[in-house]
Amino acid sequence: MQQHILVALPLSQTQRERLCGAAPQFDYRFTTQETATREEILWADAILGNVPVELIRQNDHLVWFQSNFAGPDPYLEPGVLPANCLVTNATGAYGLAISEWMLGMWLALAKDLLLYRDRQHRHHWEAIERPVRSIAGSRVLCVGMGDIGSSFARRAHLLGAQVVGVRRHGGSCPDYCLRVVDTAHLDEELPQADVVALSLPGTPETYRMFDADRLARCKPGAILLNVGRGSTVDCDALAQAVQQGRLYGAAIDVTDPEPLPPDHPLWTLDTVLITPHISGRFSLPRTLENIVDIFAHNLQRFAAGQPLDNQMSRATRYVSEDTPGNRLTCE
């Protein structure tokens, strides 16, 4: 039977032709997340791209959902997808874009660039009388060493930082890290870290991992970066830690709740940078190309009846920290 493939991404004609060429025996329709219709979604046997949850839950015959996110949490909720539907994610697509966001935010905080931007808006030509920070020689703690965390770790190392990685179970140490430890040793590493970079999935184990107690264990004056899930950090405790000077500042692309309420104290802190969950979208064209690569590769495997890459375990709702070539059994 011919499979119906719905692709919900803002693709060029060349990108569409590439996906069709990966498995030409299938029937394709192309839409976007914003324009997808109920009829299109019910037509599909496989959906590539994040269509609205309220519509995809009405498809009771879907056999494969390929997300364009690394962590498609809303689609993993019970009852959204059929029980036997395979779920794959876009791990490996976002490392470049998000790690460069992290570098940019780190430099802005370390060099007080955001404070000078504030003075520019006030037309003030005035130096800030305090020393700035250097990336070279600083200690960076990368909590989460998947595609995004590893990409940032490599770039920090190339700029002269000393990098320590944290993974659930430790593991081998790449040449750009001093060491890689498991999460049981996280608190031992925090007092030495000038920068704590979080790129963690949203799981019960990571929920509020950085609460008031753990933030208090950070090195005084440290900078926190969060690009994983907002639920990893207690935003009230983060605001208090910055206000009281325990942390120098933070750059966050994710919050809990999201969006961050307009009256939250984080908005008004001079050394906190907030972006609305945009570090990994399609503003960098390379990201969309990476997603098309993943989709085309999995389409070929799907057509050949082979196990799909980037499979997710729906039972644990765990987003793999592993590389795109590793496969997880969908339970």
Q: Give the burial string for 150-181 (b: 16+ CB within 10 Å, else e).
A: bbbbbbbbeeebbbbbbbbebeeeeebbeebb
CATH architecture of 4-93+284-303: 3-Layer(aba) Sandwich (3.40)
Query: What's the predicted TM-score (pTM) here?
Result: 0.90
Query: Which of 212-221, 244-253, 290-299, 307-316 is predicted least confidently?
Result: 307-316
Q: Is residue 323 predicted with pLDDT exceeding 80?
A: no
pLDDT tens by residue, 142-171: 999 999 999 999 999 999 999 999 999 988
Catalytic-labelled residue, pool 119, 277, 281, 327: 277
> How many of the other CB atoms lie within 10 Å of CB of 215?
22
For the segment 15-63, what is each residue's pLDDT rounded down to a tens digit? 999 999 999 999 999 999 999 999 999 999 999 999 999 999 999 999 9
95-110 vs 147-158: helix crossing angle, rounded to 10? 50
121 catalytically annotated: no
Active site residue 126: no
Q: Report pLDDT for 2.
A: 86
- Report the top-level CATH class of 95-274: alpha beta
Evaluate whether 266 touches 235 at the Cβ level (below 8 Å).
yes
Exactly one of 139, 154, 155, 229 is catalytic; name it: 229
Alpha-carbon gap, residue 282 to 289, rounded angstroms: 9
Which residue in the list 258, 264, 317, 327 is annotated as catalytic?
258
- Could you confirm whether 39 is annotated as catalytic? no
The domains spanning 4-93+284-303 and 95-274 adopt the same CATH topology: yes
Domain boundaries, the chain: 4-93+284-303, 95-274
In whole angstroms, give the CA distance from residue 120 to residue 149: 33
User: Residue 190 is which amino acid?
Assistant: L
